[in-house]
Amino acid sequence: MKHNFLAGSAVLLLALVFQVKAQTTSTATGPVRYEDFGAKGDGKTDDFEALVKAHEQANKMGLSVKASDTATYFIGGGNRTIFVMTDTDFGKAKFIIDDTKLENHRVNVFEIRSALNPIKLSGISSLSVGQRRIEAKLPGPCLVVATDASTKRFIRRGKNQNSGSQQTDVFLVDEQGNVDPKTAIIWEFKQVSRIEALPVDKTRLTLRGGQFTTIANSTEASEYHARGIKVGRSNVLIEGLEHRITGEGKEGPPYSGFINVSRCANVTVKDTVVCGHKTYSKIGSAGSQVPMGSYDISLGSSVNVALVNVTQCNDIMDRSRWGVIGSNFCKNLSYEGCKLSRFDAHQGVVNATIRNSTLGYMGLRLTGFGEFLIENSTVQSGNFISLREDYGSTWKGNITIRNCRFISGQGGRILDGSNDGQHDFGYTCYMPTRLVVDGLMIDDSKSSKKGPVLFGNFNPQFTSAAYKQPFPYAVTHEVVLKKITTTSGKPLMISDNDFMFKSVKVTGLPPAAAQ
């Protein structure tokens, strides 16, 4: 009996060993698989907890994660976040994110997180514009984020008026504190309220594939919903992802971005499909009805972010859908080969480039500094470039338009905006110092107006030297025009406001229209 008992125990123990081994084979050497942690992938069972546990294991072991190509993972409204710290291949798997019953609309479903902790910097009480070095010894390259709570910038005007945002700057430094000149400090900090360094990861983390469908929240609410993928780590590639939206009703909340890049550097989103959200409205801060901006890509306090071959799942000319992207406090943004409803810099971008891309009905909306270049691209909007009037229609720097096409049914203005010099935005406002238009075909064949215009009428009241501007608006110094054609045969005019632009130096006479 004793021998049989021991033999039986041995068999049972061996069976348990094989069972444990079968459950952990993928997690021992990688990749980690969701099914090993209980995911059903049937599109009905809530797999949220299984995905959380799978990535916890992968993060702990330093292993990659691989989804099943045949699975449909259902993610319910639980108050959880899946932290991604290793390469993840979603492949052809489908993910259903159900936002109809949420425990917390503010949390993201996924967060790409660094294992490197932020470093609070001490002894830095001020910063200067263009400062080349900060006093800091760091473990390696870092993204520095600095704020001055006593100084307000971007004091918004209009239906969404506000009292402004704390002065914020982001810049890259090396281990000796030397500032990367491509991310130069743009604000004067008489005092620094908070400053921290976020280490830049040496290796790239890749998130690849996945077909995501959001079942939208359709409740009447105005608070922004997250429920996407937050990128909070530097050196990241998101590639081959697709996002679509269903379930939008007559009412619904705004979304802050399915892909939300925040406080990081060197991020590329490539070969990805995003989705424009339905536009809902609310009563704004000025007491009138305003649309609520709702985004599928949001960029905040980040540098060196590139969108490559990113397209929309819906029509970029569909005016029922809000512009697909918004950004704040960023530097060095770029589009390459994209087809999206707009490019929009809210509270400032420093340096931006658009190449080989097509922009839809919301066009190009800019606030910012430095160099802006759009090349070999098409804009299908009322204006080719709109400087955002709610932030003073300001671009402190230069703008270059090269070999582009402008399709406008309204006659169109190449550069438009509005600033009457009566509002303090928290900074001096500028039109671009130098505007170069080198190759622009203006398709105005459907316009009944007298012809396209270089500058819109930024201030209809400014028609004589008697006009007073408590907050002066600096007008463009120089314009260079080359190879501009119109399909209507109508010539390009400088502006409807001759007085405001009388001192602008224009080289290259308004060219004859194309036949």
Report CA torsion sign: 459, 461, 467, 471: negative
3 state SS for 24-62: HHHHHHCCEEHHHHCCCCEEEEECHHHHHHHHHHHHHHC
Percent of the chain exceeding pLDDT 70 equals: 92
Which DSSP state fits 19? H
- pLDDT at position 509: 64
> Which tens digits make up the pLDDT trace of 380-410?
999 999 999 999 999 999 999 999 999 987 7
Q: How many CA atoms lie within 13 A of 246 on its CB side?
A: 7
- pLDDT at position 13: 36
Instruction: Give the DSSP letter string of 94-132.
Output: EEEEE-SS-S-TTS-SEEE--SSPPEE--S---B-TT--
Asked if the bond preceding 31 is cis, omega within 30° of 0, the reply is: yes
For tokens 């608070």, what's the residue? 223
- pLDDT at position 29: 80
Going from N- to C-terminal start, the domains of the chain cover 119-199, 367-515
For tokens 């001192």, what's the residue? 503
- pLDDT at position 18: 33
Is there a contact between 510 and 479 (Cβ–Cβ < 8 Å)? no
Which pair of structure tokens corresponds to residue 211? Answer: 């077909």
Spatial distance between the Cα atoms of 131 and 432, rounded to a whole number of angstroms = 23
- pLDDT at position 384: 97
Beta partners for residue 353, in sequence order? 334, 373
- pLDDT at position 444: 87
How many Å is the maximal CA-CA distance in the chain?
Answer: 112
∠145-146-149 over CA atoms, to 5°? 135
- pLDDT at position 282: 87
Q: In this structure, are strands 473-474 and 434-443 parallel, antiparallel, or unpaired?
A: unpaired
Neighbours of 336 (CB within 10 A): 16
Beta partners for residue 244, in sequence order? 213
Q: Which residue stretches of 286-420 are H helix?
A: none
The one-digit pLDDT tens for each residue of the chain (515 residues) are 444 433 444 333 333 333 333 344 445 687 999 999 999 999 999 999 999 999 999 999 999 999 999 999 999 999 999 999 999 999 999 999 999 999 999 999 999 999 999 999 999 999 999 999 999 999 999 999 999 999 999 999 999 999 999 999 999 999 999 999 999 999 999 999 999 999 999 999 999 999 999 999 999 888 999 999 999 999 999 999 999 999 999 999 999 999 999 999 999 999 999 999 999 998 888 888 889 999 999 999 999 999 999 999 999 999 999 999 999 999 999 999 999 999 999 999 999 999 999 999 999 999 999 999 999 999 999 999 999 999 999 999 999 999 999 998 776 899 999 999 999 999 999 999 999 999 999 998 877 677 889 999 999 999 999 999 999 999 999 999 999 999 888 888 999 999 999 999 999 965 443 33
